[in-house]
Every structure is written in C-alpha cells, then in structure tokens.
Structure 1
Amino acid sequence: MARKSKGFGELLNSQQRIKGQQESMDKLAERVKQGYLKDIVGGVVRNPKGEVKMSEVLQAFVEPHLDFAATKEQRQKLFAIAILAWNLALLSEEQQQKEMEDIIAQMSMGKDRQAEQDIREILEELTERKRRLFPNHRRYILDFDVRETRNDFHLSVISSPTPKN
C-alpha cells in the first residue's frame, strides 16, 4: 500500500479544521436563535464583508489575560467574563451600572465582599479597556465557542449586526 504524503495529511487536517469551525458556528447560531437574546439584537452576523471578525477583536481584547488562561475551562471563563464586560461597555451609563450590579450579585452569590469587589474590578477594568481601545466596535457579542487545537485553540464568535447609528 502506498504511503500518503505529508501534504495530503496536512490537507486532510485543514479540511477537518474548517469543518469543525463551520460546525461550531452553526451550533452558536442555533443557540442564539433559541436563546433569550433572539428578540433583542435583531439578527446574527457571521463574518460580514468589509468588517473585522469579532473573534479576532475578542482575542485582542483579552490578550493581556490569555497567558493566565492555559486550559480550555480557564479560557471559557475568561471569554465569558470578557463578553459580559464588552456588552456592558456598549450600554448607557445608567444601564451599565444597573446591569453590572445584577451581574456582580449573580456571580458572587452573596458569598463575601471580597468576591464582589474582585468581580467589580475585573468588569470595570475590561469595560474601560473596551471603551479606550475598541471604541468603534459597537457589535454585541452574543455567544462564543472555544475549541482546542493541536497547539492552541480556536475561538468562534457570533455577534449582532453593526448598529446603523
């Protein structure tokens, strides 16, 4: 039996990776369509022409913290918190304060003041980073998926359309 070339193996791996990414995006889109945000955001966007991929924006947003997230579970938590902060930063000041208090109460579950303070500091740092470094990105991040790859990870993101105004 003839041996398969290294190039063939790389092509096969590439096709499997692309298929996995597409399946991930399909799963995310379906979750959003079924989820609580379906009536709020006015649709789902997958890699719109002429716009940057939100997965790349989100990775750049969390970049200072990625070294501390070595496992899939840690990355999922990091991206989940980052998305909360990202979406908070898109709200009006009044809405942002109310939502932040609700999030802190849910995340700390009334455990202790230190947990509340830690969560508040993280969210405030990330919302400020979003406003300072990504002011022109106004799309809400609706859902995400992290898949482990051979040497790293792949992030898929579903976002809202860019607001018209």
Structure 2
Amino acid sequence: MVRALGLDLEQINFIDNPDKVKMSAVILKLAEPYIKMYWGNETRVRGIISLAIMAWNMTFLPQKKQIELQQKLIEEVLPNDCDAQGVAAMLDVFECLQKRQRDLFPNIRTFIMGYDLRLDSENIRLDISSVPLGNKKLGADLLERDPA
C-alpha cells in the first residue's frame, strides 16, 4: 500500500504503539499451528481464527458460562450428523487454543469486541477492536450485548 502511494519505504520509520498490544498479532500467534496445518483451505483458516477469538474471549467468563457457550458452539458449528470423534476433535482444538493463551499470553486481559478478516493466497489481514478488562470475570450481559 505504501508503494502504491508512491512513498519511499527507506524514508519511513515504522514503529509500533508501545502502549498497546496488537490483538491481531496475538490471535494469529495463538492460532498459528492450525493456520499452518490448514493453509490453503480458506474456510478452515477462517474457522480456526474465529474459533481462536471465541476461545480467547471465553476465558474471561465464569466457568459455567464457558461450558454453556462451548455446548452451544458445538451444536451450531458442527453438522447434525457429526459423530463423537468430530465433537472430540473440536473440543481438543478449543482446549489447545485456551492452553496456548494461558501459556503465551497470561497477562493480557483484553476482550475482543469485533474483527474483520481478509484472506488471499499469500496473506492474512486481521483487524481487531478490543477493550481492556479489569480483574473480574465478565458477566453474561456483556456477551449478550456483543454482536460479534
């Protein structure tokens, strides 16, 4: 994009905002093993990134609400004729994403409010809107108000 505008990359000093975590980079790192596994299958990559975002947000909810949402997700995402092995595989991916979150990003307390994902054969562009959280778990009222 910079080149398309006719700007010289050598003359521009790109810096990250030192006070803000880039949640897009966090989510892509979280989902990295699965993105690599399914690269080339756009539907699967989109699904993995969406699942990573859901897994991320759910860790800030009370345990009971996490279980309810996980069950609802299984009912909505998996086909009706899906066998127990399919359910177990999805739960394994979900649990792996949550473990990676705890291991890689234990101190980031940010809730993802929405995202825009664009894929092509070579790139992933993920834009995320998020809000920092305090130390308390989120209530169900925030999740229900969130359209994302």
TM-score w.r.t. the length of structure 1 is 0.63
Q: 2:24 matched to which residue of 1?
A: 55
Q: 1:123 matched to which residue of 2?
A: 94
Compare relative contact order (CA 8 Å, sep 6+) and give the higher one, 1 or 2.
1
Distance 1:138 1:14, change over 3 A: farther
Q: Show structure 2 runs of 5+ residues with no match.
A: 8-15, 136-148
Higher radius of gyration, 1 or 2:
1
User: Which residue, 79, 85, 90 being the options, matches 2:49?
Assistant: 79
Shift of 1:52: 1.0
**Is the CA contact (8 Å cut-off) linking 2:115 and 2:126 kept in structure 1?**
yes
Alpha-carbon distance between aligned partners in 1 of 2:118 and 2:87, rounded to the nearest angstrom: 30
User: Which residue, 74, 98, 107 being the options, matches 2:68?
Assistant: 98
Alpha-carbon distance between aligned partners in 2 of 1:108 and 1:148, rounded to the nearest angstrom: 23
Q: 2:35 matched to which residue of 1?
A: 66
Pairwise CA RMSD: 2.7
- 1:22-37 correspondence to structure 2 within 5 Å: none
Shift of 1:80: 0.7
Superposed structure 1 runs of 4+ greater than 4 Å apart = none
Aligned residues: 125
| Identical-residue share of aligned pairs (%) | 26
- 1:104-119 correspondence to structure 2 within 5 Å: 104-111=74-81, 112-119=83-90
Q: Show structure 1 runs of 5+ residues with no match.
A: 1-8, 16-46
TM-score w.r.t. the length of structure 2 is 0.69
Q: 1:152 matched to which residue of 2?
A: 123
SS in 2 for 1:90: coil
Higher helix share: 1
Distance 1:68 1:95, change over 3 A: same
